[in-house]
Structure 1
Amino acid sequence: MQEVYQHFRKEEQPFIDSAQSWITQAEETYTPYLTDFLDPRQQYILEMLVGKKGEIHVQFYGGYEAAERKRAIICPEYFSPAQSDFEMELTEVVYPSKFVSLTHGKILGTLIGTGMKRELFGDILSDGTRWQFLLASNIASYVHAQVTKIGKVSVRLESRTYTDLITPIDDWTIVHDTVSSLRLDTVIAAIYNISRQRAKELVSSGKVKLNWSVFERPDFELGLLDIVSIRGYGRIQIRAIEGKSKKDKWRVEFGVLYK
């Protein structure tokens, strides 16, 4: 395992161990293995681990083409998963949209408040008025029964077919930039045009999430497909690392959401 670990971060070792056990199970039983929802970085790691094993492959699906969070099926080469094999359900939040508004954070907080782990929920989508989310189908009826309010707003959760999927607002801007390093604070400062000191303060005060978890290390080196959320500013994704410039700076393709 050490030779595998060296290609990834120390913090990612528990996920690597889990992923290796899923792969082994698929190889030894020669049957498909379905994971929970994975973030883009986890999908990348799993794809690298499966690699070119020959006898098994991995497929991802998150409910729609541009989904961030996806479930994976690790399966023998002969098996070609159907959408239904990913066992997820689309849910709409029905609420008095003329009078109140909802936010991604409030919806996610309420869903986690049901006692279900984050990995059982996929993307949360909005077209500006309507809100929908994906979740593992085996917890759908429980979550629907539990959630009657989001904050102070009375809501009802209803299952939808995939033909009812809203087109989410996609405000991602593609930015090609050079940065002196891939440190978390350096990237935040460069993208949002703020000082390194200000970026450090945002990280150390708990206002930054890396791959959906609060992260307080400004010197942390970002990697491919990491997603950084900065309260009050927006989100950054490392889309591609394109190598070094003549001035020894990293050339990076970022996806940026401006608040």
Structure 2
Amino acid sequence: MVALNFGVRRRLGLYLNPRAAAAADWTALAEALGCSFLEIRRLERLPDPTAALLEEWPGRCPGGATVGRLLAVLRSLGRDDVLTDLAGSVEEDCKKYLQRKQEEANQPLQVPAVDSSVPKTSELMGITIRDDPYGSGTEIFDAFICYCQKDLQFVQEMIRELEQTEFKLKLCVFDRDVLPGACVWSISGELIEKRCRRMVVVVSDDYLESDECDFQTKFALSLSPGARHKRLIPVKYKSMKNEFPSILRFITICDYTNPCTKKWFWTRLAKSLMLP
């Protein structure tokens, strides 16, 4: 499925997103690809459910999410109009993908550089204050904290409750732990995917306005489609004027604003971060 570019996926959405009584739409495709009723209800809240479905499908069906399978399902659903219109674009995308893979396989081995100006440490090895400067060891964290600057005071309370108590968790807080000088997006992706076991999202009205938080949240969700691995934990710590973000509504949250459950808040959050 990685062969299909954005243009083809967008055109698929133009065909399948509109709900239609006379033709199979994206919900029929979702059922054919093994989605449950609750998963379909979640997807229908998104602006482009077809794109989200195709993005999550490889995680739901490892090894079986192929272009050939997609075309076969569309054919079985009677969407010959889609196949006719997109056949040329799909074939071109697949050919380009196979050509790239062939070129990568035939790439000659590079002679190791001997110039003294070549950096000795990878940019993504020495990115936190606790990393080995020579790249022989990297720091692993229990959780990456996704937050905006205006919520930093609550993050500092989180540090006190989770790191400086009996829980002894190790949190990755960008302003405290990440070294300056490298690309924010590259560092965030590296930390979330490879260096942090989970991610805590501090949700607020200010969070909704942050492009950086939006990227981090969507990136983490892409690593755990359907939240099956409990990788992402939303935290609501104050009342909001805006609606809770739709992409997080299907995930159980830790609610700091509920006075009835506030005394259990930190224990629940800590235990969820300590899961294997």
Higher Rg of the two aligned structures:
2
**Greater helix share, structure number:** 2
- Compute the TM-score of the two structures, normalised by the length of structure 2: 0.28
**Greater strand share, structure number:** 1
- Compute the TM-score of the two structures, normalised by the length of structure 1: 0.29
